[in-house]
Amino acid sequence: MTASVETAAAQAGKPPRDWVLISLWISLVVVAAVWIAPFVFIVFTSLKSTAQVMTSSAFAPPTDPQFSNFTAAWARGRFSTTVVNSVIITAVKVPLGLFLSAMAAYALAKIPMRFGKLILVLILFGTMIPFQVMLAPIFTLVNGFGLIDTYPGVILPYLAFGIPYQVFILYGFFRNIPHELSEAARIDGASHFTTFRRVFLPVSLPVLAALFILDFVATWNEFAMALVLLQDREMWTLPLGLSAFQGQFSRDYGQLNAAIVMTVLPAIIVYLIFQRYFVSGLTSGAVKG
């Protein structure tokens, strides 16, 4: 089912000196340099004082690194508040959302239902519709529940808009799990809950891990809905804090860039750690499903 990259590479890599491959490699490296240049620029700027920014070249490394930019940006950008909010929201939303989606996907894939097909279409539909269209009604709805500026007020809509894609992926994955596997468990008298927990959850761990990382990044980075639902700055998440920082202190170039670095760093670290897991999970789940 999964032909590994390594064997493919070994097979295709017979000609030792292939000028096409060499020029390909050079162009890929050039593209990579272009791709990484913005990060270098941001990090360099984050360590310069405003005067240095205005006089030195963009790619000149900071001669006298201003680490104080980071402490100043941390305080002015209220990072101690926004980080905590981001962590709480993400830590609740991601596992909970994944669990709800997995249960629903299992039910749709393995339990015959009268309206199963219809519900599936309804959910698929959700993967296509951008929530950006509905910011105002989401606001009035959450306001109607009295949940503006609360964690549940933002987590519930996040769940609602995360569910379709996750169900879509997991449904595809569960459907491809051999029938014998689930039937064997069912014949043994296990309920669907047990089958789901004992059989399906373990085998879908790679997909779940991939979805977990994807959803972590998406939740951590979400901006538009938070902008509408979290009005109180005590409730702001990291992206909202960064946006406000940009609006207020854009002339402190060094601090602004320090704020950018601090905002994106957690996601980058998570990505670098789970990178392999992430790609392999996506491979087995998203595309083949």
Partner 1 sequence: MTKFATVTSAAIAAGLLLVATSLSAAENITFWTLNFSSEAANKAFTAVVSDFEAANPGAEVTVVTRGTDDHKTAIRVAAGTDKGPDIYFMWAGLGLGGEYVKAGLSLPLDKYYADYKWDDEVVPAAGSFSRMYPGGRHGVPSSLSGEALYYNKSLFAKAGITSTPANYDELVADAEKLKAAGIPAIAFGGTVNWHVMRLMDVILEAKCGAEKHDALTAMTVKWTDEACVVQSFGELQKWGKNYILSPFMGIDDSQAFNLFLANRAAMMLEGDWLVQQLAEAGKIDDIDLFPFPTRTNRLYGFANYYYVSSKSKNPDLAAKFLDYLLSTPVQQKLLGVSGTTSINKNVTYGELRPMTKKWLDLFNTHDKVFLNGDQAFPLDITTEYFRVINEVVSGNMAPADAAAAMQTFITNKG
Partner 2 sequence: MAERAILSNTRVQAALLLGPALVVYVVFAVFPMLDVIWLSFFKWNGLDPVKAYVGTANYVDVFTKDPVFWVAFRNTVIWTALSVAIPPMIGLALALGLNQPIFGRNSLRAIYYLPVIIASIAVATMWRWMYDPFFGLFGQILTSLGLQAWVPDWLGNRDIALYSAFGAYVWQSVGFSMVLFLAGLQGVNKSLVEAARIDGAGRWAVFRYVTLPALRTTLTIVLVLAIISSLKAFDIVYGLTGGGPAQSTQMLALWAFTQSMQIFDFGRGSAISVVLLAVTLAVVIPYMRWSQKREETAE
3-state secondary structure of 288: coil
d(CA 223, CA 219): 9
Size of site (CB under 8 A) for partner 1: 12
Structure-token pair, residue 214? 């994807």
Q: Select the residue interacting with partner 1 from 148, 209, 261, 262 (CB under 8 A).
A: 148
Binding flag, residue 147, partner 2 (CB under 8 A): no
| In the chain, beta strands by DSSP E | none
DSSP 63: S
- Is 202 within 8 Å of 227 (Cβ atoms)? no
Part in contact with partner 2 (CB under 8 A); list of ranges 67-75, 76-84, 107-115, 175-183: 107-115
Q: Select the residue interacting with partner 1 from 1, 9, 54, 287 (CB under 8 A).
A: 54
For partner 1, the closer CB: 165 or 245: 245
Q: Select the residue interacting with partner 1 from 3, 64, 232, 276 (CB under 8 A).
A: 232
> Which residues, other chains included, contact 207 with Cβ-Cβ below 8 Å and sequence gap of 6+?
169, 170, 173, 281, 284, 285
Part in contact with partner 2 (CB under 8 A); list of ranges 17-25, 67-75, 76-84, 87-95: 17-25
The binder of 138, among partner 1, partner 2, none, by C-beta within 5 to 8 A per type, is partner 2
Q: Select the residue interacting with partner 1 from 116, 231, 268, 269 (CB under 8 A).
A: 231
- Is 150 within 8 Å of 236 (Cβ atoms)? no
Residue type at 177 in one-letter notation:
I
The radius of gyration of the chain's CA atoms, rounded to the nearest angstrom, is 24
The binder of 128, among partner 2, partner 1, none, by C-beta within 5 to 8 A per type, is partner 2
Binding flag, residue 164, partner 2 (CB under 8 A): yes
Task: Please give the residue ranges that form the binding site for partner 1 (CB under 8 A).
Answer: 50, 54, 143, 148, 231-233, 244, 247, 249-251
